[in-house]
Amino acid sequence: MSKLRVNAFSISVDGYGAGPCQDAENPVGLGGLALFEWVFGTRTFQRMHGGGGASTGSTGIDDDFAARGFDNVGAWILGRNMFGPIRGPWPDLAWRGWWGDNPPYHVPVFVLTHHARAPLEMEGGTVFHFVTGGIHEALARAREVAAGKDVRLGGGVATIQQYLRAGLVDEIHFAIAPVLLGRGEHFFGDLDLPALGFERSEHVATAHATHVVFTRR
Protein backbone atom coordinates (compact mmCIF):
# COMPACT_ATOMS: atom_id res chain seq x y z
CA MET A 1 0.00 0.00 0.00
CA SER A 2 1.49 3.31 -1.09
CA LYS A 3 1.93 5.73 1.81
CA LEU A 4 2.15 9.48 1.96
CA ARG A 5 5.20 10.11 4.14
CA VAL A 6 6.96 13.07 5.69
CA ASN A 7 10.59 12.23 6.45
CA ALA A 8 13.39 14.13 8.09
CA PHE A 9 11.18 17.11 8.76
CA SER A 10 13.39 19.28 10.95
CA ILE A 11 11.88 21.50 13.60
CA SER A 12 13.38 23.69 16.28
CA VAL A 13 12.68 23.27 20.00
CA ASP A 14 10.23 26.13 19.63
CA GLY A 15 8.42 24.42 16.76
CA TYR A 16 9.60 26.23 13.64
CA GLY A 17 10.06 24.32 10.40
CA ALA A 18 11.80 27.23 8.66
CA GLY A 19 13.11 30.65 9.54
CA PRO A 20 11.49 33.93 8.43
CA CYS A 21 12.23 35.94 5.28
CA GLN A 22 12.91 33.16 2.78
CA ASP A 23 14.67 34.43 -0.33
CA ALA A 24 17.15 33.21 -2.91
CA GLU A 25 20.02 33.51 -0.43
CA ASN A 26 18.09 31.87 2.42
CA PRO A 27 16.17 28.89 1.06
CA VAL A 28 15.00 27.88 4.54
CA GLY A 29 14.70 31.39 5.91
CA LEU A 30 16.95 33.35 8.25
CA GLY A 31 18.64 31.01 10.67
CA GLY A 32 16.87 28.03 9.17
CA LEU A 33 20.01 26.13 8.21
CA ALA A 34 20.57 25.36 11.90
CA LEU A 35 17.60 23.00 11.68
CA PHE A 36 19.56 20.74 9.36
CA GLU A 37 22.90 20.47 11.11
CA TRP A 38 22.07 16.89 12.04
CA VAL A 39 21.92 15.91 8.36
CA PHE A 40 24.81 17.82 6.80
CA GLY A 41 27.44 15.50 8.19
CA THR A 42 25.72 12.28 7.20
CA ARG A 43 26.91 10.00 4.44
CA THR A 44 23.52 10.29 2.77
CA PHE A 45 23.79 14.06 2.54
CA GLN A 46 27.44 14.06 1.59
CA ARG A 47 26.84 11.64 -1.25
CA MET A 48 23.99 13.75 -2.57
CA HIS A 49 25.36 17.24 -2.13
CA GLY A 50 28.89 17.11 -0.83
CA GLY A 51 30.64 15.75 -3.86
CA GLY A 52 32.46 13.31 -1.60
CA GLY A 53 33.06 9.67 -2.33
CA ALA A 54 31.03 6.78 -1.02
CA SER A 55 32.90 6.76 2.28
CA THR A 56 32.47 10.46 3.09
CA GLY A 57 30.18 11.40 5.97
CA SER A 58 28.94 9.76 9.12
CA THR A 59 26.91 6.61 9.42
CA GLY A 60 24.63 5.74 12.32
CA ILE A 61 21.22 6.86 13.49
CA ASP A 62 21.15 10.30 11.87
CA ASP A 63 22.32 8.86 8.57
CA ASP A 64 19.83 6.01 8.80
CA PHE A 65 16.97 8.51 9.11
CA ALA A 66 18.31 10.61 6.26
CA ALA A 67 18.68 7.54 4.04
CA ARG A 68 15.30 6.12 4.96
CA GLY A 69 13.68 9.22 3.52
CA PHE A 70 14.72 8.10 0.04
CA ASP A 71 13.78 4.42 0.37
CA ASN A 72 10.85 3.27 -1.72
CA VAL A 73 9.90 6.80 -2.80
CA GLY A 74 8.28 6.95 -6.23
CA ALA A 75 7.34 10.62 -6.29
CA TRP A 76 7.56 13.79 -4.22
CA ILE A 77 5.18 16.62 -3.47
CA LEU A 78 6.49 20.08 -2.63
CA GLY A 79 4.88 23.38 -1.82
CA ARG A 80 5.93 26.08 -4.21
CA ASN A 81 8.28 27.77 -1.77
CA MET A 82 10.20 24.52 -1.52
CA PHE A 83 10.84 24.89 -5.24
CA GLY A 84 11.91 28.50 -5.15
CA PRO A 85 11.59 32.01 -3.72
CA ILE A 86 9.37 33.39 -6.49
CA ARG A 87 5.86 34.48 -5.47
CA GLY A 88 3.02 35.24 -7.87
CA PRO A 89 3.16 34.61 -11.65
CA TRP A 90 6.38 33.22 -13.09
CA PRO A 91 8.27 36.24 -14.54
CA ASP A 92 10.09 33.87 -16.91
CA LEU A 93 11.31 30.29 -16.91
CA ALA A 94 14.81 31.05 -15.61
CA TRP A 95 14.24 29.63 -12.10
CA ARG A 96 14.79 25.88 -12.19
CA GLY A 97 14.79 25.08 -8.47
CA TRP A 98 17.27 25.43 -5.62
CA TRP A 99 19.38 22.42 -6.57
CA GLY A 100 21.18 23.05 -9.85
CA ASP A 101 20.90 20.84 -12.93
CA ASN A 102 20.74 17.53 -11.07
CA PRO A 103 18.32 17.79 -8.13
CA PRO A 104 18.40 15.11 -5.41
CA TYR A 105 14.96 13.66 -6.21
CA HIS A 106 15.54 11.46 -9.31
CA VAL A 107 11.78 10.84 -9.61
CA PRO A 108 8.80 13.01 -10.59
CA VAL A 109 8.20 15.95 -8.22
CA PHE A 110 4.78 17.62 -8.03
CA VAL A 111 5.00 21.30 -7.12
CA LEU A 112 1.84 22.94 -5.77
CA THR A 113 1.31 26.38 -7.28
CA HIS A 114 -1.43 28.73 -8.43
CA HIS A 115 0.55 29.52 -11.58
CA ALA A 116 0.71 26.98 -14.40
CA ARG A 117 4.01 26.07 -15.99
CA ALA A 118 5.13 23.35 -18.36
CA PRO A 119 6.91 20.35 -16.83
CA LEU A 120 10.62 20.85 -16.31
CA GLU A 121 12.88 17.91 -17.02
CA MET A 122 16.16 17.96 -15.14
CA GLU A 123 19.18 15.69 -15.17
CA GLY A 124 19.16 12.47 -13.20
CA GLY A 125 15.50 11.63 -13.58
CA THR A 126 13.92 14.52 -11.71
CA VAL A 127 10.93 16.06 -13.52
CA PHE A 128 9.12 18.98 -11.90
CA HIS A 129 5.39 19.01 -12.61
CA PHE A 130 3.48 22.14 -11.65
CA VAL A 131 0.05 21.35 -10.23
CA THR A 132 -2.60 24.05 -10.08
CA GLY A 133 -5.50 21.85 -9.02
CA GLY A 134 -4.69 21.59 -5.31
CA ILE A 135 -3.43 18.99 -2.89
CA HIS A 136 -5.74 16.13 -3.90
CA GLU A 137 -4.81 16.43 -7.57
CA ALA A 138 -1.11 16.52 -6.72
CA LEU A 139 -1.44 13.40 -4.57
CA ALA A 140 -3.45 11.53 -7.21
CA ARG A 141 -0.87 12.31 -9.87
CA ALA A 142 2.03 11.46 -7.58
CA ARG A 143 0.44 8.15 -6.59
CA GLU A 144 -0.10 7.29 -10.22
CA VAL A 145 3.52 7.75 -11.23
CA ALA A 146 4.78 6.22 -7.99
CA ALA A 147 3.19 2.96 -9.15
CA GLY A 148 2.89 1.38 -5.72
CA LYS A 149 5.86 3.07 -4.13
CA ASP A 150 5.38 5.74 -1.48
CA VAL A 151 4.96 9.45 -2.05
CA ARG A 152 7.16 11.73 0.03
CA LEU A 153 5.80 15.08 1.09
CA GLY A 154 8.79 17.38 1.31
CA GLY A 155 7.25 20.52 2.78
CA GLY A 156 7.06 23.31 3.60
CA VAL A 157 5.13 23.83 6.78
CA ALA A 158 1.89 25.08 5.18
CA THR A 159 1.83 22.26 2.64
CA ILE A 160 2.34 19.55 5.25
CA GLN A 161 -0.33 21.12 7.46
CA GLN A 162 -2.80 21.05 4.57
CA TYR A 163 -2.20 17.38 3.91
CA LEU A 164 -2.34 16.55 7.62
CA ARG A 165 -5.65 18.35 8.10
CA ALA A 166 -7.06 16.52 5.09
CA GLY A 167 -6.18 13.23 6.80
CA LEU A 168 -3.89 12.18 3.96
CA VAL A 169 -0.52 11.77 5.71
CA ASP A 170 0.33 8.27 6.93
CA GLU A 171 3.61 8.88 8.69
CA ILE A 172 5.64 11.85 9.86
CA HIS A 173 9.22 11.83 11.11
CA PHE A 174 10.33 14.89 13.04
CA ALA A 175 13.99 15.60 13.64
CA ILE A 176 13.99 18.03 16.56
CA ALA A 177 17.09 20.20 16.34
CA PRO A 178 18.39 21.56 19.67
CA VAL A 179 18.01 25.16 18.56
CA LEU A 180 15.59 28.05 18.90
CA LEU A 181 14.48 30.03 15.87
CA GLY A 182 12.03 32.42 17.53
CA ARG A 183 10.42 33.42 14.22
CA GLY A 184 9.47 31.81 10.95
CA GLU A 185 7.11 29.07 9.86
CA HIS A 186 5.57 27.61 12.99
CA PHE A 187 4.40 24.07 12.69
CA PHE A 188 2.24 23.46 15.76
CA GLY A 189 -0.24 25.29 17.92
CA ASP A 190 -3.42 24.71 15.98
CA LEU A 191 -2.70 21.24 14.69
CA ASP A 192 -4.07 18.40 16.81
CA LEU A 193 -2.08 15.40 15.62
CA PRO A 194 -3.51 12.93 18.18
CA ALA A 195 -7.02 13.86 17.05
CA LEU A 196 -5.87 13.15 13.50
CA GLY A 197 -4.94 9.64 14.62
CA PHE A 198 -1.19 9.91 15.06
CA GLU A 199 0.63 7.77 17.59
CA ARG A 200 4.31 7.53 18.30
CA SER A 201 5.99 4.63 16.58
CA GLU A 202 9.68 5.47 17.16
CA HIS A 203 11.83 7.66 19.36
CA VAL A 204 15.61 7.84 19.39
CA ALA A 205 17.97 10.73 20.04
CA THR A 206 21.51 11.50 18.97
CA ALA A 207 23.91 14.27 19.88
CA HIS A 208 22.51 16.26 16.95
CA ALA A 209 18.76 15.66 16.89
CA THR A 210 15.86 13.87 18.53
CA HIS A 211 14.04 11.67 16.05
CA VAL A 212 10.37 10.96 16.67
CA VAL A 213 8.12 9.15 14.22
CA PHE A 214 4.34 9.35 14.42
CA THR A 215 2.16 6.97 12.42
CA ARG A 216 -1.52 7.31 11.66
CA ARG A 217 -3.75 4.56 13.01
Residues 49, 115, 136, 203: which binds its own copies (CB under 8 A)?
Answer: 203
H runs (alpha helix) in 27-168: 37-40, 43-45, 61-68, 80-83, 135-146, 157-165
CB of 94 to its own copies, least distance (A): 35
Q: Which is nearer to its own copies, 56 or 210 (CB)?
A: 210
Helix axes 135-146, 157-165, angle to 10 degrees: 90
Does 212 bind its own copies (CB under 8 A)? Our answer is: yes
CB of 25 to its own copies, least distance (A): 20
x/- letters, 27..66, toward its own copies (CB under 8 A): ----x-----------------------------------
Residue from 3, 9, 2, 62 nearest 173 by CA: 9
Q: Which is nearer to its own copies, 54 or 207 (CB)?
A: 207
* 85, 25 contact by CB (below 8 A): no
* 143, 173 contact by CB (below 8 A): no
* 7, 155 contact by CB (below 8 A): no
Where do contacts with its own copies occur on this chain (CB under 8 A)?
A: 13-15, 31, 174, 176, 178-183, 186-189, 191-195, 198, 200, 203, 205-207, 210, 212, 214
